[in-house]
Amino acid sequence: MGTLMTSISGIRGIVGDGLDPETIINHTNAYADFIGSGKIVIGRDARITGEMVNQLTAGTLLAKGIDVIDIGICPTPTVQFNVKKLKAQGGIAISASHNPNEWNALKLLNGTGQFLSPEEFDKMQKHMLKRESNYKTWDKIGKRTEFKQGIQNHVDAILDLGIIYLDEIRKRKFKVVLDCVNGAGAYVLPEFLKELGCQVVEMNCEKTGIFPRLPEPLPENLTETMKKVKEAKADLGIVVDPDVDRLVLITDKGEPFSEENTIVQIVQFVLSRKKGNVVVNLSTTRGVDDVAKNYECSVFRSPVGEANVVKKMKEVNAVIGGEGSGGVIFPEVHFGRDALIGIALTLQHLTDYGKSLSNLKDELPQYFISKKKIEVTKDPDEVIQKLIDKFFGQKINTEDGLRIDFEDHWVHFRKSNTEPIIRIIVEAKAEAEAKDLSNKYLKLIKN
């Protein structure tokens, strides 16, 4: 078997080298047994292997007697939203997120449109081990329906939010450079932004499904996009990953706004309208805490991963949540990372603020994150336990590896679920300080 990664958010692999038809059918079969009966919403991102994966997935579900509602090429959050909207028993988003062209994945959702919880995933894995076929006879197979309103359902729900004032945003006439990396965003975002009164300069918005650059929206992959924002004299740049759950912004100066700042400014905006609890993961910037403190609101942290953030959001009844990777979760629409919601809230924030995105960046709390990873020969759990013992008495959190909060910085040690690697994330007030500290912690593990 080639490359195949399995987690609570589904299965991911390289097509033809791990993610083959038999693998897709086996996992869909187990998922169908986990769901039992009813209807499943399927949607996919634009990558060219999506149609093949869709056919195998839909065919297996139909053979198991489950009805399929196919909403076509769309963002992953659109699948999540429509599971809830259409009262389906589950959903499958066919997308490998920010992975390159050769990858694809099945993102498996429960009846609320969220990723499977660890408990639900364990149940599904038991069906995998049983390898039951339970295929239905000719007269009991499921029915497949093409549903073309999926994207419109999602967009309408966002535009109808009481927190979004369309007339105000339209008056600003934002000029936006939009980079969809030729992914699912190209099927919704140009029109969505025009609906918000924006002048849209399209870049990588062709419906080819072939990514013209590395699709992860990191600054080093966005040099051309940043240049375009400056050349076009745009108010901002908007970049999404292939399945449109992550939102990355570029300032009017053609500089990165920073992935971490996406959630910081969204939290600032939402709390200015509606006070309440905030949830982010353990690797997300302290800037969120600073902003929430200004509104006398509490921040709760969860282990890394959308399912974990959502679980904590429900526990504490959060009004907003997300992750520092550009993930915005606004529960009034649905419990999932959603770049469309992030875009609408950002444009409303800028409208309220009245100044530029670069001004907003300068006024947000200023922090710098340094990320490193180290391959370890010992059991990663043992290494992290030694660190826990060493820092006993400090302000620590051990829900997901080890996070230690110091007065002037924090550090998060996390083991990889797929490799013998420990990740080290450090945040400090100055870039040089963050880098020095991450080197110090790296040496600590080496020794």
Structure confidence by residue, pLDDT tens digits, 114-125: 999 889 999 999
Query: Residue written as tokens 């660890």?
Result: 118
The pLDDT value recorded for residue 418 is: 64
CATH class as words, domain 4-148: alpha beta
Query: How is residue 183 written in tokens?
Result: 């992914």
Active site residue 97: yes
The pLDDT value recorded for residue 188 is: 98
In the set 97, 258, 302, 370, the catalytic residue is: 97
Q: What is the Cα–Cα distance from 390 to 118, expressed in whole angstroms?
A: 30
Query: How is residue 111 written in tokens?
Result: 């009846």
Q: What residues does each domain of the chain span? A: 4-148, 154-363, 368-446
Give percent of the chain with pLDDT exceeding 70.
99
Does this chain's domain 4-148 share its CATH topology with 154-363? yes
CA distances 250 to 34, 84, 85, 190, 407, Å, are 42, 32, 33, 17, 30
Asked if 323 contacts 338 with a C-beta cutoff of 8 angstroms, the reply is no
Which parts of the chain sit beneath pLDDT 50?
Answer: 1
CATH class as words, domain 368-446: alpha beta
The pLDDT value recorded for residue 2 is: 66
Specify whether the backbone of 169 is left (phi greater than 0), alpha (psi in -120 to 50) or beta. Answer: alpha
The pLDDT value recorded for residue 10 is: 83
Spell out the long-range contacts of 417-420 with Cβ–Cβ below 8 A and sequence spacing 24 or more: 417/7, 418/5, 419/375, 420/375, 420/376, 420/377, 420/380
Asked if 201 contacts 232 with a C-beta cutoff of 8 angstroms, the reply is yes
Given CATH 3.90.226.30, say whether it is the number of domain 154-363.
no
Query: What is this structure's pTM?
Result: 0.95
Per-residue pLDDT tens over the stretch 153-162: 999 999 999 9
